[in-house]
């Protein structure tokens, strides 16, 4: 499977511009032969544009999610839309299973190459350190997975990387590819380089950590989108500029690594 990670240029509060760049990234990834393209966290307005969350939020069947789904089907490519800001009341009114009847969520949606919704993940661990996220958003409650080709895929989001037990729960569901949309800022560069790599090593799984490229009034994202193989070796990476990070993922590699180095068999629960 060929994976493309779109390290998008994100302009704070510019919903139309950010969606335009995301749609162009879908086109670009499809033209380069990717099977899947994944976006960063809160790419619709930028993670640190907290005052804009309520203004841009829509339900899962709203326009911004629909535009991504339609483009995925048009270009015959799976797309991880997200994350974006979801209006839970609108989703509930449309009949979707939601963690609360009202409020906002930090939500990733995985669409397949026919534009069908395959997975909805709402960020579980909400960041409170110098952030309004834990005041504005509702935590997710479910741990969905999806099958893409020969991979069992899960999504986690940014701060979730600091909670390895979450990844173990997904591991027990057979996950071998983690997609991690993020908005990771300076100065925590070493954390960004270490945590997704550690999640790959300890779970003997692929981990794709997709960051944005953006500067806000009081924060700048580190970029450095990176895809790690099951040994924790970087397969592809970027600097802090906008980029499309591409690599081939071998569906047999996870099983081979877990057989060669069977540490998961030694877990004591």
Residues with active-site annotation = 41, 123, 158
What sign does the dihedral 232-197-123-164 (CA atoms) show?
positive
What sign does the dihedral 217-133-19-151 (CA atoms) show?
positive
Mark residue 214 as left, alpha or beta (left: phi above 0; alpha: psi -120 to 50; beta: remaining): beta
Counting Cα atoms < 13 Å in the Cβ hemisphere of 141 gives 5
Q: Give SS3 for 123.
A: coil
What span, in angstroms and rounded, lies between the C-alpha atoms of 202 and 230? 9
Counting Cα atoms < 13 Å in the Cβ hemisphere of 196 gives 32
CA 74 to centroid of chain Cα atoms: 21
Contact 64/44 with Cβ under 8 angstroms?
yes
The residues facing 215 across adjacent strands are: 220
Which among 259, 194, 258 is positioned nearest to 228, based on CA atoms?
Answer: 194
Number of H helices, E strands in the chain: 8, 12
């Amino acid at each position: 499977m060929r994976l493309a990670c779109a390290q998008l240029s994100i302009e704070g509060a510019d919903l139309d511009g950010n969606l335009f760049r995301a749609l162009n990234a879908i086109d670009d990834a499809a033209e380069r032969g990717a099977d899947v393209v994944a976006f960063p966290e809160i790419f619709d307005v930028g993670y640190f544009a907290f005052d804009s969350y309520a203004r841009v939020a829509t339900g899962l069947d709203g326009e911004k999610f629909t535009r991504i789904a339609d483009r995925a089907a048009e270009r015959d490519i799976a797309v991880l839309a997200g994350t974006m800001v979801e209006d839970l009341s609108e989703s509930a009114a449309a009949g979707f299973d939601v963690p609360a009847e009202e409020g906002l969520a930090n939500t990733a949606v995985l669409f397949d190459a026919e534009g069908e919704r395959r997975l909805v993940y709402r960020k579980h661990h909400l960041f409170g350190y110098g952030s309004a996220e834990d005041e504005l958003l509702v935590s997710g409650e479910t741990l969905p997975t999806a099958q893409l080709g020969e991979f069992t895929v899960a999504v986690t989001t940014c701060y979730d990387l600091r909670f390895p037990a979450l990844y173990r729960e997904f591991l027990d569901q057979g996950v071998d590819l983690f997609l991690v949309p993020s908005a990771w800022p300076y100065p925590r560069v070493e954390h960004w380089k270490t945590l997704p790599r550690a999640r790959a090593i300890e779970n003997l799984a692929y981990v794709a950590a997709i960051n944005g490229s953006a500067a806000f009034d009081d924060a700048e994202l580190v970029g450095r989108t990176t895809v790690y193989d099951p040994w924790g070796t970087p397969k592809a990476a970027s600097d802090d500029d906008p980029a499309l990070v591409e690599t081939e993922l071998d569906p047999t590699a996870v099983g081979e690594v877990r057989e060669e180095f069977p540490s998961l068999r030694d877990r004591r629960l």
